[in-house]
Structure 1
């Protein structure tokens, strides 16, 4: 691929018309997933590649079912471990065997690019004459490992849908039967080109005869030959006295008897909480009564909250994690809500809460440094704590929401448990500005540093607000606040903080009021989404540093101090 495929001469990224039709937050997600090599390089948008596509399956990587399984299960989606065991019953598989997946095209991008693009068109299952969906995937050339994917259907915005799954399964099917290794290019291309352009109408009998594994004997037709009269009223009354809840009485009325009202069937609940972005009603001009009604009608069940946390433990690489943060006051933004002055315009903060102001931080030195040392940091912290605690464990944490306060959320860096202290949260900070300075020297040099001269977390600092909300939403009694600098030798401080219920009650009251007074209106109208951002900030100078940047896990065992907050 020439450089001009990925970028114009003026340096601006080149994307398809489809990309420009997406909402701003979805655009950011779309462009972000095309970055690779720690964010230093970008793959081209497959929808703008018009040349050098190949129909030859010999150019496909060796995609295995194991690669598909890992990607579909690790990415929050409709696919589960149970459904993948019976994958032939999935809609994605039925797309393939029914001929709904058209010719698969491959693009090698360039010789030095480690990924190959593959795309196809999938005929909709219900409306076969509608425009086909267009999924694409990027696979590693050498291993066949899935890197990223997308589809033009609504579910495809989350990167995993039945159309993407169908593309994977057709690729895997070609690899399995040896089409990608055949010496006959014409045979391979002929197999790739077999698909059904149109769905021919057929009777139920014809469809039944084509079903694999159908009954050997036809099912005999059952025709009604008449009707029997109902029992007498007295008999019905006696029967009703014995079994008033019988299904029979849901369709029969007995004179002189007041029947039991029909029992409403319990409605199935969604697996995850309803996205707050779904509250958008573009043609509505909400008044205070409408806003209040919307605020109180939105609910999150305990089971939904549990499943959401479990499905978002990959945090920044989880589409669910991004989507469910939108419209919620997260722990990293709670301090700005708490300290916002009445005379300050809330617009910029509302934009941030709604997820309009999202940036790609993958190229920033501070973020890259944290990503490169993340695994090492977590292992170091766990190793240290295991020496001083009984049966200590630290697990990854997802996005926590609370059924009593559904408009706030938190994503701690970890959930810790031990027999001696119980359940707690982990929050790790690695100030890139002071990465080469011992922690005990930093407070004297930087008055805005989160720790004071006694190496205690300042209670007026945004990080204090952050960890308090994390403890409340995770129902934890303490938090380990870890600060690390990579000096020589490395320096680490662990500050143990206890839950302050009075502080949390004040904070939650302020957050709930902010959502009700400002955020709900914006979620319904999205009025601020296309308005220019003002220069007015809702943060004081003290709280501007490291605003909303991801936490960096970095700890060391060489020089450690543990300070409990009084």
Structure 2
């Protein structure tokens, strides 16, 4: 048995602190078993007399949502319902049951003369499903000839907060029993068989799957718990649903006729829609944008103008200055970069990032030696020499 607690006294050695904590923890645990002067045996020490769900689900006490509300400190049933739907922690307690983290529930009558019984189970940690399960027990009043029992008197869980008896794992056990009572699984049918009731497997099966194949749902108390198979069937029916009649569905399957009918409807109303253009296999020619001339073309114009050298240089610089509209036109025309002939033409004569280091290095060389030959680099800048393609490129 694992008991989680923490006590620390000043001025005591570590070993004595540990012993003191263990003693106080044991005292707290024993107090949970003394109920109205009646001492209930420790559920962890009882080795025989336990009955599983298949044999004894019909002997479970009648725990209702009102009993859970009282135990959890809620003033009314409406209050606990509101917390289930809106508070993450309380809602998570219900999802422990719905997700089958609460395993098979066992019942022990304590003794024939006692008005109390013990329910115990194991609960899988939601954040670490392969870790050791938590041990949970609750002590509840039995049903009798005078009326239903179901009063939750005491509870314990081996998790860190389990000594309080109101952790999510305890609540998950209570919701499992309450669901069995609510759905009639604890009562015998006219055929002397129990109502349909699934016993959770001992170990959860969590296999990876594609997100598209996963069933996404959030547990809600006010909705019926459904199996994964039912959710799959519901999802499949939802995907297959169509408001079309049989004849309409058959018409849609004839894709050629459907396209022809749609074309007849749209060709006069929306003559330049993408669908109509595709059907008629035509294109709308976009207006020619005002794209500036390339550096090389401007330079050639200046050379052939027979203008004074200094005047030609000033004009050359002026023509390189672009308006915002022409810059945007050039940007749109060169979006495809190396796949665009305009992009290639406008790179010629410009010091681009890919050759900037070579230009910088050659300038330094020319400063040291004016006779150094820059012709190869000039040819590259002017686009007269193709860039050598490397493996990386």
Asked whether the two chains share a fold, i.e. TM above 0.5, the reply is no
Instruction: Pick the structure with more strand per residue.
Output: 1
Structure with higher Rg: it is 2
Calculate the TM-score normalised by the size of structure 1. Answer: 0.31
